[in-house]
A and B are shown apart, each in its own frame.
Chain A
């Protein structure tokens, strides 16, 4: 197994451009009388290779912000650049293209239960037509090995522990060869040891690949991995630390 296969897929860090750049973002749910604004004038940047945690009480708008950055919702007001692409005033098809460059890790692992760890990870290579079937198989094994699951390749999610499932999810997110990783409370459903393992794993990968991570979390045990912490309250950025 050589690293030569992986090397060309590594994203070149571009220190000049921020990976995420938000300016005066507002966002509301509903319309008319039912309209409820959840984000107010949010502005921040995330540089390449940074690990940024997004914290704050429930309802503070963290997750909404994450879905906007993940191109899962349309930006209605303000400006948002992700990976140097504008997400305001774009079509749905463009949003889907942006998603392909982002690795998502969710609170629930959301693996397809009817597919093995290997199949779940390998599926992601469908979005990368330039990767051949053989390469995809090889990369899948490398990724699952790198998250410590080389002995669970052909297990269905039902036969994996919570921590193992979340590690498959990490491997799946990385299979997209992402230039940005978005994580939504990835440790919330895990015990402290498994949670720590997953976070450490993410940290290593971010360092090795120069891939920035934006992570929503409530978990005080993992705050130490952050380069920066953005604190949100009532839809506004309360503090940077």
Chain B
């Protein structure tokens, strides 16, 4: 351990209360940054979770569609043309819509996202769907998302006891026969999955010939972008074709533009950074100011400015470390609380942990840099 680091530690640890306050400031800052950035990322991830679940290589949507959560329809017949290209292995269509789910307990209606998918070939990553293939074909049989909000009532516990639950969706009586865990987002509070036929029963105004999303799987080894360009010519102006990754990217753009996630949570994180900066600066500055005569004495005895700067910088690094780890654990706890409260999944990522760690070092280092200017004013000639 270097000598300037030891001096820094002796100085910080001499007043335990002061050290605790300083560390607490950093803890709060770290926690705020982690939680705010975590919720931002979580909200973003959950909102594009549906797009990410597509297992197709290419996705066809209407040219009017900005997001698949408020999609316009395009003629299904366009999809039939696409099979002409030998690289196309499989094509399926998907209907999406927003319905009104009447909570059978309090009789109030809540919006719900409704997906009409081919149970045999959904081209969507829905683990466990295979078990329900046959029952999904039954008239007015629908599958409930087990991670939906509590708005819809105690659906899951009822299913566990009674097996099925009859509810009213879009003024039509349907039967929830089971649940599957998928997940919600800021776009949607709950999901219902069903066959296209049942979807069309629930939306009588919709035509079977106009679909929301077309999903294409290519033969393995195909050049996805090249095929997309070829198919684009086949589709003409009536539909737009994207790779799955392009769809995810455009969904992220939509979220960014429509929900001010970056601003709100970025601001929260910035506030955390600022709090930490101010607390650390205050502590370091008063430490330097209170010990100016002693620092000047050290200078008089031959210690360089550089040595004293290292002392202050070491203090800021100690505060970073003392604050980061408790702040990290606290944030993990809050992720769990938020996951339960908002019913969206929030997880810590290595990238975010490292990013916030770097921010913490910068935050403390910056405070030190400013407090250090005071050290230079310690004039050894003033000690006498």
Contact = CB atoms under 8 A, between A and B. Distances in A.
B301 A100 contact: yes
B7 A72 contact: no
B301 A72 contact: no
B274 interface: no
Interface string B345-384: 0000000000000000000000000000000000011011
Contact of A73 (B15, B294, B303, B381): B381
A138 interface: no
Given A99-B302, A123-B7, A111 B294 contact: yes
Interface of B: 3, 6-7, 10-11, 13-15, 291, 293-294, 296-298, 300-304, 307, 380-381, 383-384
From A97, A119, A123, A156, residue with most partner B Cβ within 10 Å? A123
17 contacts: A70-B300, A70-B384, A72-B383, A72-B384, A96-B302, A97-B302, A102-B301, A104-B383, A106-B297, A110-B293, A110-B297, A112-B294, A113-B291, A115-B7, A123-B3, A123-B7, A156-B14
A62 to B, nearest CB: 9
Contact of A113 (B13, B294, B303): B294
B10 A110 contact: no
Nearest to B304: A96
A106 B383 contact: yes
A28 interface: no
Contacts of B304: 96
Contacts of B384: 63, 66-67, 70, 72, 106-107, 184, 216
Contacts of B303: 126-127
Contacts of B307: 126
A115 B381 contact: no
Contacts of B381: 67, 72-73
Contacts, number: 77
Q: How large is the interface on A (under 10, 10 to 19, 20 to 34, 35 or more residues)?
A: 20 to 34
A114 interface: yes
Given A114-B14, A123-B3, A104 B301 contact: yes
A23 B7 CA distance: 40
Nearest to A185: B384
A66 B300 CA distance: 12
Contacts of B11: 112, 114-115
Interface string A87-129: 0000000001101101010111011111100010001101100
Interface in A62-76: 63, 66-67, 70, 72-73
